[in-house]
Homo-oligomer: A and B are copies of this chain.
């Protein structure tokens, strides 16, 4: 029995930048609206894919305000609110709760390494107590390849036991299926989302709620199709298809590759920008990526048309 508001495919929305690397709120709102129209069940804005840690707290606050003001349902938003500094995490999390967001996705503080489980527990306890809202729903963001700070299976259990109505789920971006499987088995009421659609069907069959995936920015319709039909006879074929697309994209630096695809899909070269220390996809790599996608018949419809997607020839 889930305690959360989310299921299906959630997209960590790419953040479009102006030439000075400030976020472009207009394109950002458009991207969120487009992803929802394409079938996203929720939007995990301010994730790794969103380059959220390359934004100041103020920039993230302003973007979140803009989304809600623009009419994006707050209940569909799961903003990233983790931070190295306790005060920043409390401020961003409180804002998300006050705006009515369906949940928040929190990575641990990631400067010091290693840290002991007690320290991470203390950090989350402080955040939860300071925010002090019964409507707060935290999804832990387990992404040790980037943060280098894992949520151990034991620590997850301890947080659930201490805050059963608040710590209700986890995004597992470890890339380690055995970790996902252990979480699903040990904590059956906990809402686990693999961090890649490559594990979607396997996850759904084992009790996962869906997935939260970077490549949802480019293929949310295809992934949503599997979410809606995972008990059908075609499910394995759908899984194979979305995995093929994922692998084609992640053969390149993932965030720059996805932004190169947005530039093509939305016919807007500005989308190619990434904030330093990331670098945009080079021209040769971009050509190679597009050739690879064409080779697997993955359509990137230009000029904002999004009708043609998975399985159709690129026009």
Contacts and interface: CB of A to CB of B under 8 A. Distances in A.
A88 B59 CA distance: 10
Interface in A146-187: 146-149
Given A118-B279, A122-B277, A110 B111 contact: yes
A297 interface: no
A22 B126 CA distance: 12
Q: How many copies does the complex hold?
A: 2
Interface in A275-301: 275-279
B57 A111 contact: no
Contacts of A122: 276-277, 279
Interface string A125-151: 010000000000000000001111100
A278 B108 CA distance: 12
A86 B148 contact: no
A56 interface: yes
B279 A126 contact: no
A147 B277 CA distance: 13
Given A85-B53, A126-B21, A115 B277 contact: yes
A76 to B, nearest CB: 25
A146 B111 contact: yes
Interface in A63-89: 84-88
A188 interface: no
Interface residues of A, number: 40
Contacts of A278: 112, 115, 119
A100 to B, nearest CB: 24
A120 interface: yes
Interface of A: 21-22, 48, 53-59, 84-88, 91, 108-113, 115-116, 118-120, 122-123, 126, 145-149, 275-279
A277 B118 CA distance: 8
A306 B279 CA distance: 51
Q: Which 7 A/B pairs are nearest by Cβ-Cβ distance?
A: A119-B277, A123-B276, A53-B111, A122-B276, A56-B87, A115-B277, A53-B84
Nearest to A56: B87
Given A53-B84, A54-B111, A148-B148, A116 B279 contact: yes
Given A53-B85, A86-B276, 5 more contacts: A56-B57, A86-B275, A118-B279, A120-B277, A149-B277
B55 A87 contact: yes
A280 to B, nearest CB: 10
B109 A277 contact: yes
